[in-house]
């Protein structure tokens, strides 16, 4: 596709339920990132995938959070036993190591986000 896509765009869930968020990166982008944006706060890094390398999970806030990516395609972020503090916008970004004119090396392009509300 032309850009990064995410689904669902909005998700309302009850405390304690599991949720799964999906990200489709830009075709050909080998790197994929998940960030969280809480109201009034900056984007927080969660996890990074680069090709077939082991993901960098250093930003995941607890073991309730996990993510998977198959090859260089779709990624899913799963939050188990959701808590009210998990309410946020979850943003996905992808990048390519190729130097593209006008963009610079490894510029991250973001999707529209999934707005998660935990009641």
Partner 1 sequence: EDQVTQSPEALRLQEGESSSLNCSYTVSGLRGLFWYRQDPGKGPEFLFTLYSAGEEKEKERLKATLTKKESFLHITAPKPEDSATYLCAVQAWGGAGTASKLTFGTGTRLQVTL
**What residue ranges bind partner 1 (CB under 8 A)?**
4, 31, 33, 35, 40-45, 48, 50, 53-54, 56, 58-59, 91, 95, 103-113
Nearer to partner 1, 14 or 104 (CB): 104
Q: Which residues contact 42 (CB under 8 A, 6 or more apart)?
A: none
Q: Report in angstroms how near the CB of residue 19 gets to partner 1 at its nearest.
A: 19
Over the range 4-27, which residues count as b (16 or more CB within 10 Å of their CB) and which as e? bbbeeeebebeeeeebebebbbbe
Report the residue number, 14 or 58, with the smaller CB distance to partner 1: 58
């Amino acid at each position: 596709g032309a850009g990064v896509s995410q689904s669902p765009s909005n998700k309302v869930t009850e405390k304690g339920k599991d949720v799964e968020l999906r990200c489709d990166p830009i075709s050909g982008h080998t790197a994929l990132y998940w960030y969280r944006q809480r109201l009034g706060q900056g984007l927080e890094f969660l996890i990074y995938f680069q090709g077939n390398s082991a993901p960098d999970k250093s930003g995941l806030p607890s073991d309730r959070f996990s993510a998977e990516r198959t090859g260089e395609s779709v990624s899913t972020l799963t939050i188990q036993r959701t808590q009210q503090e998990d309410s946020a916008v979850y943003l996905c970004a992808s990048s390519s190591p190729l130097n593209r004119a006008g963009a610079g090396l490894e510029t991250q392009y973001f999707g529209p986000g999934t707005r998660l509300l935990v009641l």
